Structure 1
């Protein structure tokens, strides 16, 4: 059984934000439906499990799943909310005597090593510029526009006739960036706000209204919005089109 588990569904700050008393953050502190760790997913299979991204909530995410170790992580880009857990992962590798395997484009690996030069002592850092295969998934990555934050990578994964993509940090994709997102059984797309009113030049991730337009063009079988800020309330009915839903922590989807 191949399954996708949402370990974290939040933006760079997570929810609740420590300084904030908005209704969403307040709800997160009470009933907890809106608690969101930084975005990351776990791909489970019969042969090997692996994660996409390793943010600062990595340890908490594994504890919540009852996991004590993960050997393989695929990284989308070198921003803190996606790599902040790498030192803890490397330390886990050290103490368990297992070498981790970090997969990422070479330019992302180079950036990571400038920040954490000692990681190669505990991790194998493996470029995916020519593609990769993990647990039988054929994986292709490509650069996507991340707005004011530069760029990130999206990944398309294919196995046994099932195709899905993970694109957590993007906005205003051009035709070349959109092309690999066609003909998908599942699209996981980052949407930080329902409707973000900030000046477009200052933004870095689609809002839910813009994302719905993109999904309408792509027509995947299913879509899940993730990477959500405290603007988004998962207890609210946003009237999303059929086939689109909001990710929640621990949510599990079959990949077949």
Structure 2
């Protein structure tokens, strides 16, 4: 029986929640009971072949400690923005102390940016170009470029498994205003994990970089996944609020564990 699972390590936007300078109701609540506390977005695929972390943000060390982990060997990167890669230097240093090599998977242009930003990483981490896709045990993983609004572009990943049971899901934390070609890999999914910074973001589209929930629901009507999770949520999202989402749509919570069957 297949036991592949996905654990959400973080579900926050680029600034996390609470924002250090902010005293809004959501940030204030996050500092007290912590219901809205959100680390930067990342997720861990656990399969028989081992663990594959998706993105390695600035809370990587805290996330590792909370899960009582001392080492991970493989990280898949969506794009080279701070909130998705800031943990790589600490991970590389852990590899140095443990005398183990880590493996980083990303499209060639993302790897090139990492080399420019952190030229010492390859002393401890082995870079793998996955532009043409990659296999992780029974999973076929395929990157595709998506519009990231004012921030240029990002990559999303589609995961397809045909044995021992068929399952398809996608991870797309940073996208907006996708065209038909960019939406195409989102069809035929059992699960779509999609970034939504706000319920409704009241600013001009040209200044934005991630879908809001209202727009995301329109995308789901078109692509029709069996289930969807909204992640990458800012302090504009309050877990205490009922957003009247469809039954198949859930707000992602840190530590949520999903059975990929």
Q: TM-score, normalised by structure 1?
A: 0.99
Distance in 2, matches of 1:77 and 1:194, equals 24
| Alignment partner, residue 69 of structure 1 | 71
Task: Say whether the 8 Å CA contact 1:106–1:129 is kept in structure 2.
Answer: yes
| Alignment partner, residue 138 of structure 1 | 140
| Alignment partner, residue 120 of structure 1 | 122
Structure 2: runs of 5 or more not aligned: none
| Alignment partner, residue 189 of structure 1 | 194
1:28, distance to aligned residue in structure 2 (A): 0.7
Structure 1: runs of 5 or more not aligned: none
1:30, distance to aligned residue in structure 2 (A): 1.1
Which of 162, 165, 174 aligns to 1:169? It is: 174
* Count of residue pairs the alignment pairs up: 256
* 1:80-99 map, 5 Å: 80-99=82-101
Which of 148, 151, 155 aligns to 1:153? It is: 155
Task: Say whether the 8 Å CA contact 1:49–1:135 is kept in structure 2.
Answer: no
* 1:37-52 map, 5 Å: 37-52=39-54
Matched, 1:220 2:220: no
Deviates further, 97-106 or 40-49: 40-49
Which of 203, 208, 231 aligns to 1:198? It is: 203
CA RMSD of aligned residues (A): 0.7
1:22, distance to aligned residue in structure 2 (A): 0.8
1:101, distance to aligned residue in structure 2 (A): 0.5
Q: TM-score, normalised by structure 2?
A: 0.97
1:136, distance to aligned residue in structure 2 (A): 2.6
Distance in 2, matches of 1:43 and 1:70, equals 12
1:26, distance to aligned residue in structure 2 (A): 1.1
Task: Say whether the 8 Å CA contact 2:49–2:136 is kept in structure 1.
Answer: no
| Alignment partner, residue 234 of structure 2 | 229
